[in-house]
Amino acid sequence: MHRRLTTAMAASTLALITVVGTAAAADAAPADRSQVLASWTQTTASSYNSWAAARANQSTWSAYAFDWTTDYCSSSPDNPFGFPFQKSCARHDFGYRNYKAAGAFSANKTRLDSAFYEDLKRVCAAYTSGTKAACNSTAWTYYQAVKAFG
C-alpha cells in the first residue's frame, strides 16, 4: 500500500510539474512578441494569412497585448469602386499601431507600407483585364497615400 501511495504521489507531482512548467512557458511567450509582430507584417501572402488567422482568433494571442483596433482605410473608402480593401487596411493599421506602441515605427514603416501594397495587389489579382487594371491603379493610389501621409 505504501509503495502504491508513493508511486501515485510521484505521478501526481510529475503531472503538477508538467502543468506548472507549461503555464510558465505560456507566460513567457510574450518575450517573442516582436518576432510574432514581425512575422505578421511581412509582404508575403503567408504573413498575411497568418495575421488573418490570428485576427480571427484574437483571444489566443491575448497575452501578447496586441492592438487589434482599426479604422480600416481611415478617411478613404474601405471598398473603393467595389474593391474589398478593408481587410488590407486593417492589417496595415495593426502594423502601424503595434510598431508605434513598441517605439519601432520609423524603422518598420517602409515595410508596413510595402506589405499594405502587396495585400492590395493580391486583392486585385482576383480580377481580370480592365477591372484588374482599375483595381491596381486604385491600389497604387492608396499605397502612395500611406507612403506620403501614413
Looking at the annotation, which residues are catalytic? 92
Query: Grid coordinates representing 58?
Result: 484574437
Nearest to 41 by CA among 105, 103, 124, 131: 105
CA atoms of 133 and 12, how far apart (whole Å): 65
Q: Residue 9 contacts by C-beta under 8 Å, 6 or more apart in sequence?
A: none
The set of cell numbers assigned to 128 is 481580370
Q: What is the DSSP letter of 78?
A: S
